[in-house]
A and B are shown apart, each in its own frame.
Chain A
Amino acid sequence: GAGVSQTPSNKVTEKGKYVELRCDPISGHTALYWYRQSLGQGPEFLIYFQGTGAADDSGLPNDRFFAVRPEGSVSTLKIQRTERGDSAVYLCASSGGTGSSYEQYFGPGTRLTVT
């Protein structure tokens, strides 16, 4: 079946602008995660949804970052007043279970460039 999809694949925006990044998880997966991967680093956790609610948002760097998952499927990561330091690849993952042993399936990512 279809994997995790993310749109857009690339986004270039000017400093100070607002952006939205979309994630479509694998159908039926209740858990959804956002990670950020900066150049030369491993992915870093941002936020985790179980169903419609954000179960853990401890990784969001500041209040410019916000994410929603209103119907328990598609999620949108929103970044306000973008800064050059926000440039990174934003990865989405979904999982069919909530236990630590469940595999997370990753999408291809959205490469965000803030100029």
Chain B
Amino acid sequence: AQSVTQLGSHVSVSEGALVLLRCNYSSSVPPYLFWYVQYPNQGLQLLLKYTSAATLVKGINGFEAEFKKSETSFHLTKPSAHMSDAAEYFCAVTYGNKLVFGAGTILRVKS
């Protein structure tokens, strides 16, 4: 069965610093992978998705992620953090028609 591990339940960065949120997956078949962001009291919004095309995927708000099959990873990065990036981020892998989510990482951005 598919599973997702997000290392670090909380990550804190300074404004302007690099953001790195880690995601490792387990999948018995070639995976489709997603990153979602959740702002307080809001639903999940898709940041980006990997669907077996380019391994480096660019998403909204300056985020990108790289699929590394050898490392079973799909880490999310952003070169320069902005205060508005403070939110909870979820990595997910498809399992049939459903999504299997990681536990989430709360990103805090310090001024």
Contacting B98 at CB < 8 Å: which of A41, A48, A108? A48
Q: Which of B42-81 contact A (CB under 8 A)?
A: 42-46, 49, 51-52
Q: Which of A10-62 contact B (CB under 8 A)?
A: 31, 33, 35, 40-45, 48, 50, 55-56, 59
Give B71-111 as 1s and 0s: 1 = Cβ < 8 Å from A's Cβ atoms: 00000000000000000001010101111111110000000
Complex interface: chain B residues within 8 A of A93 (CB): 44
C-alpha spacing A98/B45, complex, angstroms: 19
Contacting B90 at CB < 8 Å: which of A31, A42, A59, A103? A42
The count of residues in chain A whose C-beta lies closer than 8 Å to any C-beta of chain B is: 27
Could you list 26 examples of A-B contacts with CB < 8 Å? A31-B97, A33-B98, A35-B99, A40-B103, A41-B104, A42-B4, A42-B92, A43-B99, A44-B101, A45-B99, A48-B97, A48-B98, A56-B96, A59-B98, A100-B94, A100-B96, A101-B49, A101-B51, A101-B94, A103-B34, A103-B46, A105-B46, A106-B36, A107-B43, A108-B41, A109-B43
